Amino acid sequence: MSGKTFYVTTPIYYPSGKLHIGHTYTTVAADAISRFKRFTGYDVRFLTGTDEHGQKIQKTAEGKGMQPKEYLDGMIEDIKKLWETMEISYDDFIRTTEDRHKDAVQKIFKKLYEKGDIYKSHYEGWYCTPCESFWTETQLLEGNKCPDCGREAQLAKEEAYFFKLSNYKDRLIEYYEKNPDFCFPEARKNEMLSNFLNENLEDLCVSRTTFDWGIKVPFDEKHVVYVWLDALCNYITALGYMSDDESHFNKYWPADVHIVGKEIVRFHSIIWPAILMALDLPLPKQIFGHGWILFGDDKMSKSKGNIVYPEPLIERYGIDSLKYFLLREFTFGKDGNYTNRNFLGRLNSDLANDLGNLVSRTVTMIQKYSDSKLPSPKASGGFHDELKAVANGVHIEFEKAMNALQFSDGLESIWKLVRRSNKYIDETMPWALAKEEDKKDELDTVLYNLGEAIRMIGVLISPLMHVTSGKIFDQLGIKGQEGILSWESVKEFGKMPEGSVVSKGEILFPRLDVEEEIKALEEIFTPKEEAAKPIEHKEEITIDDFAKIELRVGTIKEASKHPKADKLLVFKIQVGSEERQIVSGVAKFYKPEELEGKNVVVVCNLKPVKLRGVESQGMILAAYNDDDSKLELVSVSDIENGCEVS
C-alpha cells in the first residue's frame, strides 16, 4: 500500500421506510469510487450508516405500536441485508443510536457550548418534521409549506440552543472562493452562494424539547440535539473523534468526498463546514451533490406509488446489471429519469449485445480454432494496431473520469474498447481465416488480441462490476493470477499469458424480451389493489392461549390530548371498580370530547408501558383500514363496564 488514504461517505439514511433505488444510487456510487481507489493503491475508508433519531422516526415507530429501538433494529437489519446482497464494500456502518456516536456528539455539543459557539435562547418558527428542518416564515411556500418537500410545516415555539452559524458566513464565503471544487458540481455551489451564503445567514437552532427521541444535551437533559447536528457528526464520530482511540480519525480525516443527494447539499456545505470550523477541524475536500433519479419526471414517493426497489431488479437481472445501469445511464450530478424501458434497453444493448456477445464469441472461437488454448500473436499492423491503440488509451480516460466521479464517462471509455473489439471481429473475420491454411498466423493474432482485450475489459470494469469481471476471468482461465488482474496490468496491451486455457461459462447477460420484461416489472412495481391482497394470518393459537387475554368492557370517563404526541390520546377508563389510564393512537380519528361515555373493549392484563412519558395500563380494541384511512373503536352499548368479553 502506498500510504495514500481516501475517505468517502454516503449520507446516513433515515430508516423510516424501505430504501429504494434512489438510495441505492448514492451507495453504488460510493462503492464504485471506493473499489476504484483501493484498486489503484489507496488505503480506503468507506463509511455508510443510518440516521436514527428525530421526531419522524419516533412517530413512525409509534404508528406501528413499537418502541423506536425495536422498530429501528428491524429496519437496520433490512438495510444491511440489502448492502450485503449488493456486495457493497463499506468499511464501517454507523448507527446514530450507538454509544460511540452518542458519547462523541455530547462531547462535541459541550465543547461548542463552552467555546461560546452554542448559546441558549428561544426558538420561534416553522418546523418540517419529515425533513427535520427549521424554516423562517419568508422561506415557506404558499404560507406554510416546506420549501424542500412541499408538505405543511408546523409552528413551533420553545426554549432552545443555537449554533452561531452567522459568525461563519465570511469564512465560508472565503473558503468557497479559495476552494472552487469544495461544493460540486458548480451549479450546486452557485445555489449555495446565492440562496444562502450571500443572504442573511441566521444562527441555527440545534436542540429540541418537544420530543425526546434523540441525544440528550449533556448539561440540560430536557433538550435533545437537533438531528442534523447529530447526523452530520457521524462522519467524524465513526472515525473515533473525541473517543479514547482517535487513530482512524488522525489517519483518514479530512474526508476526500461526502457523496450526497442535491437536497441535502445545504446541510453539508454550509452547516457542516461551519461546525468543523468551530471545532477547529479541517474541512472535507469535497461535497458532491448528485442529482435525483426521477420516475416519469416525478420524485419517487410511496404516496404516489412510483417507487422502484432494487431487490426485484437484482433478483431478476443480477447485481451488476443494476449497478451498470445506475452508473452508466445517469450523469453523476444531474437528475435522470428511470423507466423500465431505459433500464432493459441498456441491459440488452450494452451488456447482452456488446459485452456479453464479445466474451461469448471470443471464447467460442478460441475453443473452436485453437483447441481452447490462447495462441501467441504473430502479426501486427492494420486492425491489430488500431485495437491495441484503443486498449492502451482506456485506463487514462477511465482514471480521469473516475477521479471526477463521472462514472458514466468511465464506463463509456471502457465500452469504446468493447465496441472496438466487436468491430475487430467483424473486420478480421476469424471464421474465414480459419478456412485458409496460410492465414494461421493472422488467426492466432486475432484470437490472442481478443483474449487480451477481454482481459483488459474484465480488469477495468472490476471496481464497478466485480461479479462480471470474476466470470470473465474464469472463462479466460486466469482467475487468481494477481499480476495480470492489477491496475498496472491495463496500462499496456499484451499481458495475457499465451497458452491460457479458456472455458465457456454461463452466458454473462442473456438477451431479454423487452416487452415481456416490461410487463413483468410493471406487475412487480405497480401497487396492488387492496382487495387482491391475501390476508396474512398470524400463527395459530389454542383456545387456552386465547383465554390468557383478559378482555373487559370499560367506560371512557375522560379523554385528553397527549402532552407530547399529536397522534395519541390519554384515556381514563372505568373497568368495574378500577380506573385505568390508557394511551391510544386514535387522535387522528376522534376528538377527545366525542368519546366520553363510550363503552369500549379493554385488554386488561397487558403489561403497562410508557408511551412518550405517559403510562398506559392496557389497550383499547379498534378496527382499522389497512392504509390507516379509517379507524373505529370496538364498542358495546348495553353491557356494564367490568364485564368480560370473550
| 470 binding ligand MSP? (CB under 6 A) | no
Q: Between residues 293 and 465, which has the closer beta carbon with respect to ligand MSP?
A: 293
Name the residue whose CB lies closest to ligand MSP: 22
| 51 binding ligand MSP? (CB under 6 A) | yes
Query: Cell 465543547, residue?
Result: 111
CA angle 603, 604, 608 (to 5 degrees): 100
Name which position in 12, 33, 146, 456 contacts ligand MSP (CB under 6 A): 12
149 annotated among ligand-binding-site residues: yes
Name which position in 205, 229, 239, 260 contacts ligand MSP (CB under 6 A): 260
| 525 binding ligand MSP? (CB under 6 A) | no
Tally: H helices and E strands in the chain:
22, 25
For 321, half-sphere exposure in the C-beta direction (CA atoms, 13 angstrom radius) is 26
For 140, list phi and psi in degrees, rounded to 5: -70, 155
- Cα–Cα distance between 112 and 122 in angstroms, integer? 18
C-alpha cell recorded at residue 173: 464565503
Q: H-helix or E-strand containing 295?
A: strand 293-295
User: Which of these segments, 257-265, 311-319, 583-591, 630-638, binds ligand MSP (CB under 6 A)?
Assistant: 257-265
128 annotated among ligand-binding-site residues: yes
Q: Between residues 47 and 443, which has the closer beta carbon with respect to ligand MSP?
A: 47
| 11 binding ligand MSP? (CB under 6 A) | yes
| 232 binding ligand MSP? (CB under 6 A) | yes
643 annotated among ligand-binding-site residues: no
| 23 binding ligand MSP? (CB under 6 A) | yes
- Cα–Cα distance between 620 and 572 in angstroms, integer? 11
Q: Between residues 26 and 445, which has the closer beta carbon with respect to ligand MSP?
A: 26
CB of 233 to ligand MSP, least distance (A): 8
Rg of the chain's alpha carbons, rounded to an integer? 30
Q: Scanning residues 321 to 340, which ones bind ligand MSP (CB under 6 A)?
A: none
Name which position in 14, 288, 383, 473 contacts ligand MSP (CB under 6 A): 14
CB of 300 to ligand MSP, least distance (A): 5
CB of 226 to ligand MSP, least distance (A): 12
Contact indicator for 102, 94 with CB cutoff of 8 Å: no
Q: Between residues 264 and 484, which has the closer beta carbon with respect to ligand MSP?
A: 264
CB of 261 to ligand MSP, least distance (A): 3
For 240, list phi and psi in degrees, rounded to 5: 90, 15
Q: Which residues of 583-604 are buried (b: 16+ CB within 10 A; e: fewer)?
A: bbbbbebbebeebeebbbbbbb
- Cα–Cα distance between 16 and 537 in angstroms, integer? 25
Q: Between residues 291 and 618, which has the closer beta carbon with respect to ligand MSP?
A: 291
What is the residue-wise DSSP string for 89-136? --SEEEETTSHHHHHHHHHHHHHHHHHTSEEEEEEEEEEETTTTEEE-
C-alpha cell recorded at residue 486: 492489477
Name which position in 165, 183, 300, 319 contacts ligand MSP (CB under 6 A): 300
CB of 264 to ligand MSP, least distance (A): 5
CB of 513 to ligand MSP, least distance (A): 28
| 25 binding ligand MSP? (CB under 6 A) | yes
| 13 binding ligand MSP? (CB under 6 A) | yes
- Cα–Cα distance between 313 and 291 in angstroms, integer? 21
| 80 binding ligand MSP? (CB under 6 A) | no
Diameter over CA atoms, the chain: 107
Number of amino acids touching ligand MSP (CB under 6 A): 18
Query: Cell 383465554, residue?
Result: 547
| 26 binding ligand MSP? (CB under 6 A) | yes
Q: Between residues 51 and 329, which has the closer beta carbon with respect to ligand MSP?
A: 51
Alpha-carbon distance values, 180 to 169, 171, 193, 286, 333 (Å): 16, 14, 12, 10, 16
What is the residue-wise DSSP string for 578-605? EEEEEEES-TTT--GGGGTT-EEEEE-S
Considering only CA atoms, which of 19, 509, 31, 14 is closest in space to residue 311?
19
| 204 binding ligand MSP? (CB under 6 A) | no
- Cα–Cα distance between 430 and 358 in angstroms, integer? 13
| 261 binding ligand MSP? (CB under 6 A) | yes
205 annotated among ligand-binding-site residues: no
C-alpha cell recorded at residue 191: 445555489
Name which position in 32, 94, 104, 231 contacts ligand MSP (CB under 6 A): 231
Q: Between residues 333 and 618, which has the closer beta carbon with respect to ligand MSP?
A: 333
| 22 binding ligand MSP? (CB under 6 A) | yes
Name which position in 217, 293, 450, 595 contacts ligand MSP (CB under 6 A): 293
Q: Between residues 19 and 197, which has the closer beta carbon with respect to ligand MSP?
A: 19
Q: Between residues 201 and 232, which has the closer beta carbon with respect to ligand MSP?
A: 232
User: Which of these segments, 17-25, 68-76, 355-363, 631-639, binds ligand MSP (CB under 6 A)?
Assistant: 17-25
Q: Which residues of 341-373 are buried (b: 16+ CB within 10 A; e: fewer)?
A: eebbebbbebbbbbbbbbbbbbbebbeebbeee
Alpha-carbon distance values, 61 to 23, 80, 611 (Å): 21, 19, 11
**Contacting positions for ligand MSP (CB under 6 A):** 11-14, 22-23, 25-26, 51, 231-232, 234, 260-261, 264, 292-293, 300
Binding site for Zn(2+): what residues are annotated? Answer: 128, 131, 146, 149
Binding site: what residues are annotated? Answer: 128, 131, 146, 149
